[in-house]
Amino acid sequence: MSDRDGKFAGDDPFEIVRGWMEEAEASEPNDPNAIALATVDGEGLPNVRMVLLKDIEEDAFVFYTNYEGVKASELDTSGKAAFVLHWKSLRRQVRVRGTVTREDGPQADDYYNSRSLKSRLGAWASDQSKPLASRASLMAKVAKVTADKGVNPERPPFWGGFRITPIEIEFWADGAFRLHDRFRWTRSDVTQNWAVERLNP
């Protein structure tokens, strides 16, 4: 595509996302890897929340969470998700839609072990998305978990990753007079090659 140059150039959309992420890491004041993750419940009612994208793989995106929370239940049930990365400082965004699988093997162990001790203990203590009597009761549970698990807790069996393998990725950059630049990469399934088209603003 002749006019897909500059920040949109390349034959691999994951490389483009990595490049934009590197730029955002230098300009965004907080969490350049924050994504707004969208799921749907069993009735088709949407849900969206901010989570942190932890890995951009060769062909997928990975984040981590509690498997007993609402988002995990919705992801497991539908097997699909969407998210958007938005960088206000760069005036750019990336939209992704795709299928979802769990990442609960050695890669999840490695990421869990890379987290701070308090975050690892917190993963054990939190019954994510369930009602909580008070913050004091949560802190009491953290103290109990700390006494039980010590300074090297293993990854909880109810905590791990999700891998989103996209069938659609859209790159958006702000343009003068609201004439934004948009390029959408699509493939019918993960075994197919990408097709790229420019979209109207």
181-186 and 61-66: which strand pairing?
unpaired
Contact of 165 with 60, CB cutoff 8 Å: yes
Phi, psi angle pair for 161, to nearest 5°: -105, 165
Is 102 in the active site?
no
Q: How far apart are the first and last CA of the chain?
A: 17
Distance of CA 66 to the CA centre of its chain: 14
C-alpha span between 170 and 139 (Å, rounded): 42
Q: How far apart are CA 194 and CA 9, in angstroms?
A: 14
- The type of residue at 148 is D
Query: Which position among 18, 95, 102, 178 bears the catalytic label?
Result: 178
CA pair distance 36, 93, nearest whole angstrom: 11
Under 8 Å between Cβ of 68 and 158 = yes
DSSP state of 4: -
Q: Contact, 38 vs 82, CB < 8 A?
A: yes
**Residues annotated as catalytic (active site), given as ranges:** 178
